[in-house]
Structure 1
């Protein structure tokens, strides 16, 4: 194997080895055919909203000196921060990068004491009418800022982040695709970040709640993004493993994927979203018309949602095309809904497959948050065709939904029979299954 890149020293970062190997030369040396270089893949024409207009090419055209191979979280952040003068870049992830290797103690501000926090803000002491404040809350917030600075990694424009091999991934990190157009993320297993310092809010609901930060990935104000063949999971830290304080679950997870704040032209394809609560949110506020109206156009196809509780997705404003996805509701997991119909949304849900256990009615697949029209056609539940809107309106008459989203998707390269979707998605979706 021939290594082309030198050792780079990036200001303020650990030195990063850039090992750039030509797959064609490696294969030629072994006498075999050249494998496909997925790092230089681009979103096919017509493949969802991400292909609109200029399309999504990420770092496919990166020069050799802008191809980075990383094996540590520090090296990954350094590669994303490297100055390419705006030129395309490829960041190849080898193995699993751990964003929180030092544990939560590494982020604690001096003087922060969780036992003291619990004692100070116990509802029996503090009450439930006033948001928490005071020294321990200030130290909690300072600790949270330390964690945020460490676990957030900002992906710049014209970048492809790709797992090298079937076992590449990130644990505890949050990929921020923020105000950065033309980005591709593929072939990574992303274990949801664990918030070390959730905030207690005694005024949240009737009994209060713990509120956490850090999505595994956020598309914020960015356009032309392709998220493909990744696995999103809570991994070693499912909600069932989390403790309870003040009678409420000590929630340390936020979302798996958010598309928010004016993001637009996004294709999410062939991913696995597994065993999570608030999974995928498109649009984060009913009051964000200034940034979100006419945007948040997202395509979701051939994804597996398994063991997720809700938001698969929840939609505000956007024209969202969801087709050929497989939704598996597990009998031993809580379930609220799959499609959330929100403020000024225009969801078009076609030819999806749903696998529901006994006791879970098809009327729960849709959830009305605000009045907005929705199209749901050609979907199957447990192998049988079901009119999702009609069954919802019959089973949940207090949340009557209006049919007819008012638009018809055209950016699709293939639409499979929903009876074939479970098998197709099981065989091909998720990290390590690029072909």
Structure 2
């Protein structure tokens, strides 16, 4: 399809909207990004009271921070209890904040005295220990070490909060935890490398076992009305491909980019970049039918998934609207994009896929115990071939049994502005998505 300059211009304006245009401003605290609220109708986070974050903050509750200690102080003063601080607040991040600030030895400073990786590898080698979960004093020491890291590198956020970055703002080696942090906004941050110092060996995870880590770059739990906009998520100079192999499996030190779990709901994820990561977005953490039913409602629009491998997203229970996103997928380690999980209701419209060598249209969807997905308007460019419209669900059903149904049982009503024609999606998202670095 040949696009005219006029068509591209119309598409970019449509995609831009208030949230896209806002990043040109510099006065983030008093009148710029910090005071902006989610536009009406912009995804699930616009439901109910909408999402205003800390826009009502008094001048005394507008803070510019550039250290871990200042960030914790601005969030309420005590990392252990900041999640209960509901005072409206705007926090402007300047420069790089590192989660290990004050710990020159990083992991070594957080390790329990009874733990060492060498001892762990020797004790729980499947050839010695067998294929049963680690237990005993050494595993207990690892768990205590994880607790030490959680207390230090997990930064807890309370309700009615806006966190916004100045150009080049970076949160590195930490997890931003929004647990019970309803009505919160996070914008224009480069999230980098929230690595786990003490991954767990799970011998029965898959046919050969797996290493599993705990820390996401950002996690949303037990929260409503959360807007995550114009951020970048990546592993920096510590990619999964550079990790060692133990017990025949990659030593996985990273978990998700942005996980939305534990009854969270009414979340809009817009104009973000997820770059060169394995696990990206888990929506719903358990197959157990219970409190998550009727929750986990999330909108993803105008995001770029670049060199990412799985969970783009993986969904359980929620009504999840996925539209106008650009997927640039490559690599032998690619697994799937859309995970159709238990009682999930995905509505996917006008998404564009650039598929690298060895990735086919039928690989985009994976059945994790779901029954149906609404999928329309998808375009695929495979290798050097021209882009063309493709039914991803049709491709999946032609090569997999049982088939997935074509009606997820709902139609989104909360969308800000028109849905872009799919061929415009790469142009709009590559121009607009991600933190302004």
Query: TM (normalized to structure 2)?
Result: 0.87
CA contact (8 A) 1:97 1:170 kept: yes
Q: Which runs of 5+ in 2 are unaligned?
A: 1-25, 382-386
Partner in structure 2 of residue 7 of structure 1 = none
Judged with a 3 Å threshold, the aligned counterparts in structure 2 of structure 1 residues 206 and 406 are, in CA distance, closer, same or farther, namely closer
Would you say 1:244 and 2:245 are equivalent positions? yes
Residue 115 of structure 2 corresponds to residue 105 of structure 1:
no
The CA deviation at 1:292 is 1.1
State the SS of the aligned residue for 1:420.
helix
Relative contact order higher in (CA < 8 Å, ≥ 6 apart): 2
Does the aligned pair in 2 maintain the 1:214–1:255 contact within 8 Å? Answer: yes
| 1:194-226, Cα deviation, whole Å (9 max, x unpaired) | 100011223333332211111111110100000
Q: Give the number of equivalent residue pairs.
A: 397
Matched position secondary structure for 2:274: strand
1:301 aligns with 2:301: yes
Which secondary structure state, in structure 1, belongs to the residue aligned with residue 171 of structure 2? strand
Residue 54 of structure 2 is aligned to residue 63 of structure 1: no
For 2:109 and 2:295, the matched residues in 1 are separated by 39
Q: Give the Cα–Cα distance (whole angstroms) in 2 for the partners of residues 317 and 155 of structure 1.
A: 25
**TM-score (ref. length: structure 1):** 0.88
Aligned CA distance change for structure 1 residues 363 and 196 (closer, same or farther; 3 Å): same
Contact kept, 8 Å, 2:272 with 2:303, in 1: the verdict is yes
Query: Residue 340 of structure 2 aligns with which residue?
Result: 341
Match of 2:45 among 47, 50, 55: 50
What secondary structure sits across from 1:419 in the alignment? Answer: helix
Match of 1:420 among 417, 421, 424: 424
SS in 2 for 1:137: helix
Give the CA RMSD over aligned residues: 1.8
Give the gaps of 5 or more residues in structure 1.
1-25, 28-33
Alignment of 1:141-152 (within 5 A): 141-152=143-154
Does the aligned pair in 2 maintain the 1:309–1:333 contact within 8 Å? no
What is the deviation of 1:399? 4.0
Equivalent of 2:118, from 112, 115, 118? 115
Instruction: Return the offset for 1:35.
Output: 10
Residue aligning to 1:372: 371
Deviations 1:205-259 (A, max 9, x none): 3332211111111110100000000001111111111011111111101111111
Contact 2:332 2:358 in 1 (8 A): no
- Once residues 432 and 346 of structure 1 are traced to their aligned partners in structure 2, the CA distance between those partners, rounded to angstroms, is 33
Q: Distance in 1 between matches of 2:249 and 2:360?
A: 28
**Counterpart in the other structure of 1:181:** 182
Please state how far the C-alpha of 1:404 moved relative to its aligned partner. 0.8
- The 5 Å alignment of 1:206-245 reads 206-245=207-246
- Give, in whole Å, the separation in 2 of the partners of 1:211 and 1:395: 30
